[in-house]
Amino acid sequence: MNFEGKTSKFDRQAIHKNVSVRKLKTKTSEKSIIWTNVTLHIILFLMAITAGYLHCFHVSNLHENDLFFSHLSNLERELTFRTEMGFYYSYFKQIVLASTFMEGFSSLLTDTRTEYPPCLSLVNDTGTQKNNQCANLNSIERFNLYPELLLAGAYRFLHTFDLIRHYCFQVKRDPPTNPIAIAINPNIMANLSLLRKLDVIPSNQLKINSTSIISCDGSGEPPYFYVNSVFILSGLVLFGLTYSGWFVAKIGSSNQSKMDHILQLIGGFLPILAYFSNHREATRVQWTPPLRESFAYPFFIIQQSFLLGYFGSNQMLRSYRGKSFICLPIYCILLLSCQISWQFSQFALLTQIISIICAFCLSLSSNTPYSLSSNQQKSVILSLLFKIKQIIWIHLIVFNLSFILQFGNRLLLQSGYMFILLSSLLSVYILQQLLNTYNPLTIKKKEVSTRSSMMNITFIRFLCLPLLLVCLCTIGLSLLFSVFSKYAFNNNYDLNRNNNDNHNDGGHIWDLLKHKLTILFGITTYKTFHTMLYICAPEFDFINWATLKQPLETGLIYGSILVCFIVSFKLFRNLFSSHRHHHLSVTVNNQLFNSDNLSSCEYSFQILRDFISLLVIIQLAIFTIMAMLIMRLKLFWTPQMCLSLAILAQPTRWFEMFHEVKSIGGRIFRTSSLNSDCEPEKKTKRSFWFHHVIYTTILVLFIAFMAGRGLENLKSVTCEQEAYH
């Protein structure tokens, strides 16, 4: 007999009593929730600020221990900027020493000293320039010099109002009596018309062995101001990783219990711990401050945090529309700051757009509830599509602004970034039309019980495949347009320059990429000047074992592999299992609910959780390939692995694993599977807390292991640098 829907008189009284009690406690519960959220945000903010400050202090300390920067003269400090670092710093110094800021800015737009040809050939032996007109080079277009421009402007402003100070002191030295080097007399280049034989002489005869120098410390000194600004920016990396980890863990928490709040904080703490434990392989800002990546990557991490927070907000259009007017302009500024600081930023942002589209397609195809109505499904999916469309439009707007600010840098058109944006936007509009005109999401109940296929053929055929085909076709077209624009612009440019200069904006990036791909296919004949120059440096080589040693010892790689396995297992299980709607359960408010009874809110939570997790994992997979090809790009790979650990703080992931293990064990030992509808309330709560204790213990043990190895790594680096002095 079926007794559903029948309640006794006493049961109805108990129900009304519970309802009345809940009404009385509504205001109190709302206040407690508000205070809990405020406390949680305060703790998270303090955690992020502390992590950023500690990282800024740590890299500054490593830089000081390595170079003894505070006790050098300004000339010696500038000499520490070797290779391209000195090249970038020279533009900062050029603007600082200019009579006015606009004069320094104009010198960047009309640079006649950097490139050959045609300027160097127009200088005679006496060092004076001929009357022939020298073509100007736009250094901002070519070298992404907006960081130096903004820092120089800030320095001039602060120095004008005496807001930055410096303190000078005399440093005594005891130079050796014996010659320490064989040098060339610097006065030999005083007159270029009287070149003579270069005679080497001992360095102690060049009158440079002074026993003392004047060293000035403080932000009032240009080298100090420049380096300290970079170190402050590096603190944003940890600030952004903390919030990114919190967003990832928060979207995996289905309720707002105290245990979930603790796990959210653990999700923000795990990237911090992993980053410091693998600091040697995560950044090199302490050794090379002026490089472009030191300015661009902090903004990349911050905009990624905004992106995860924006997608993770489980709200309807009307509720978050007001917040979007505040958040989206900030996101535009962060995105623009990232693009104009480094010529490689557009390639990283390109991978981000690809990850968003792929994550949306996979998360949507793996979450197909059978009990929701068509309107409920549409509201959830169209809400997420609306956010994706907004992000793509912002990328397009920022791309145009970056193209204008960089005076038409052709690498922006040749990289394919713009065409990927257009293709993704087209895919989103096609999918919206598909959902509005024909709804392939609804599946009849008869099809659920009678279908023999292992996949949801109806859903894949009408929704997933068109999206994938559109993406593949438009990506192919974007590559063709990129190649066409590359050669079209080059030929036009060569005609304008009368074949005197056949350079290409960002040509070294394409040459290096072609060289790496040809090596993978066993072809070693492709060589250019750029490839011969870059492959000599180890940071542009393929990744080596020494780079993988530290992430393996700290468990970072193992943790990332575990996260990828958990997310991929859930994905393929939902895609290929025909009985997933009978077994999948979600834990909400200490109770187990079957997926057949999912509401629109629960379905939204489920699809957002899978979307955010897949977005992080797909981005990690792309960054892994990039780091394997070019070891320098491990600065994207290692922090992304640190961020992926935050998925371990999603409690629903662990509950799904536990229930899957139980179901597998039940099938192996031929025992009845655990049915959440028949479990007593006490047994359900006991199972809930038992699961919490298990995965919390696992997380604590993992944190303790990584913290121990990380402290050893930090101590070894600090001791080695201090022993040098």
* pLDDT tens digits for range 188-214: 545 544 444 445 445 445 455 556 777
Same domain, 190 and 299: no
The pLDDT value given to residue 355:
92
Q: Cα dist. 523→151, 462, 527, 640, 666 in Å?
A: 44, 42, 10, 31, 54
Three-state DSSP state, 82: coil
The pLDDT value given to residue 177:
57
**Nearest CA among 439, 448, 446, 443 for reference residue 581:** 448
Same domain, 683 and 625: yes
Same domain, 184 and 147: no
The pLDDT value given to residue 84:
87
The CA distance from 307 to 348, in Å, is: 14
The CA distance from 315 to 384, in Å, is: 10
Residue 237 falls inside a structural domain: yes
Evaluate whether 563 touches 645 at the Cβ level (below 8 Å). Answer: yes
Same domain, 663 and 683: yes
The pLDDT value given to residue 454:
40
Q: Cα dist. 388→128, 439, 458 in Å?
A: 58, 20, 24
Exposed, middle or buried: residue 265 (CB in 10 Å: 0-12, 13-18, 19+)? buried
Same domain, 252 and 151: no
The CA distance from 572 to 430, in Å, is: 26
Q: Give the number of domains in the chain.
A: 3
Which residues, given as ranges, of the chain have pLDDT below 70?
Answer: 1-29, 116-135, 174-211, 252-256, 314-324, 368-377, 438-479, 481-508, 522-525, 530, 577-601, 658-692, 720-725
> Considering Cα of 7, then 8, then 12, then 17, what sign does the dihedral take?
negative
Residue 91 falls inside a structural domain: yes
Task: Provide the token pair at 331.
Answer: 């996101």
The pLDDT value given to residue 105:
94
pTM as predicted? 0.83
Task: Provide the token pair at 200.
Answer: 């080497």
Residue 624 falls inside a structural domain: yes
Residue 4 falls inside a structural domain: no
Same domain, 72 and 50: no
Same domain, 468 and 386: yes
Domain interval for residue 183: 174-209
Evaluate whether 18 touches 209 at the Cβ level (below 8 Å). Answer: no
Same domain, 572 and 607: yes
Residue 385 falls inside a structural domain: yes
**Residue 461 backbone phi and psi in degrees, to 5:** -70, -40
Task: Provide the token pair at 470.
Answer: 């559109």
The pLDDT value given to residue 535:
73
Same domain, 551 and 644: yes
Contacts for 528 with CB less than 8 Å, ≥ 6 apart: 511, 515
The pLDDT value given to residue 474:
62
Mark which of 149, 182, 209 sits at the end of a domain.
Answer: 209
The CA distance from 317 to 446, in Å, is: 34
Residue 3 falls inside a structural domain: no
Same domain, 247 and 193: no
Residue 1 falls inside a structural domain: no
Same domain, 503 and 575: yes
Same domain, 122 and 111: yes
Residue 11 falls inside a structural domain: no
**Nearest CA among 57, 643, 648 for reference residue 301:** 643
